[in-house]
Amino acid sequence: MQFFRNLTASVKRANNLGRLPFLSAFQHQRPKFVATVEIDYVQRVTIGLEASTVEHAQQLLKRTSDAGTLFNDTSTMPILMHAFEPVRADSPLQLVSLEEVDELPTADQSVSMMKCFGASYALLSFARMIDALCEEAIDPEERHIAMVGIDVPMEELTQLRSLLRTLDGC
């Protein structure tokens, strides 16, 4: 009986410290590593343009590329597709470096940018849904009112809140 009291007391003390006494093999901190991996990608951009000949089209592309305006997405040269595609989808992982560190470094700003980029479509969809709900709720004769009441589906609101929490670093 005393054994169980001692075990219970030690578990309570250890739980206050965030450890379990009988799992000492799992209590030590594991080493931390930083791995750098390279994946070969091609940036593929399709641009629409009007030109009198193939040579003229090539000249337009070269001029806009040299001027740094190739990706401006204008009415005369709209971007029709912009994607990053792996050179070979079945290529093996290219491990560039792997080093042990005491603590993991803070994430680079590029991680936040990619999270924001990935979330932009979801946020835009939510904004469009709110716009449509507002359009339905507004009586055309009462467009002068200062506020509009709409019913937002709870599922949509929950998804938005979850999305916003993941984007706190943006």
User: pTM (2 decimals)?
Assistant: 0.49
Q: Looking at the chain, which runs of residues are DSSP E strands?
A: 32-38, 41-47, 79-86, 94-101
Q: In which residue are the tokens 């305006």 written? A: 69
d(CA 30, CA 27): 9
pLDDT at res. 11: 47
Q: State whether the Cα torsion 21-26-32-36 is positive or negative.
A: negative
Number of C-beta neighbours around residue 134 at 10 A: 12
Query: Who contacts 146 (Cβ-Cβ below 8 Å, separation ≥6)?
Result: none
d(CA 73, CA 81): 10
d(CA 94, CA 36): 9
Kindly list the domain boundaries of the chain, sorted by start residue.
1-28, 31-103, 106-170
Task: Output the tens digit of pLDDT for each of the chain's 170 residues.
Answer: 444 444 455 444 444 445 555 555 555 788 999 999 988 889 999 999 999 999 999 999 999 999 999 999 999 999 999 988 888 878 888 889 999 999 999 988 888 888 888 888 888 888 888 888 888 887 777 767 777 788 888 988 888 888 888 777 66
pLDDT at res. 142: 72
pLDDT at res. 112: 82
pLDDT at res. 1: 44
d(CA 97, CA 88): 21
